[in-house]
Amino acid sequence: MISDYDKKYNKVIKLDKSKWTSLEKINGHKHYEVISINKKKNKIELFPICEKERRITVFKEDLKNKRIWIRGWDSKIDNNCETSFNDQFIDGTITRNIAKTELRQIARRKAEQPILKKHNNIKGLPQL
């Protein structure tokens, strides 16, 4: 377990199997875990948690840069100010049942949109 101090200052102590969040998506992924550490070359090999066969290599100094990486899996960090259900589920902020319920409600709203548009056009009401 990492301390709040390590997390706050992106300390790279105890790197083995540590978790990291990339602020920009790399190969379509944001959440990574450390596989191996090359201390001589200061390179760290990471893999995205969804595709364990893919690998990326970064310099140790890049992991320390808070503009590129944040220690831990943080789904709240998103440039679009939207957090996907997948990120929330990984982070543990929502359960699978809550994610299912939310996705069903979104799908229902999308399905209702054409019906509501048609209904508003028939009654002559202004569209929103």
Give 11-60 pLDDT, tens digit per residue.
666 788 888 988 888 888 889 999 998 888 989 999 998 888 899 999 98
Number of CB atoms found within 10 A of residue 81's CB: 6
Q: Residue 79: pLDDT above 50?
A: no
Report the percent of the chain where pLDDT is more than 70: 70
For residues 93-123, one letter each, b for 16 or more C-beta atoms within 10 angstroms of the residue's C-beta and e for the rest, the string is ebeeeeeeeeeeeeeeeeeeeeeeeeeeeee
Domains, in order of start, for the chain: 4-75 (2.30.30)
Sheet harboring 29-38: ordered strands across? 56-59, 43-48, 29-38, 19-26, 69-71
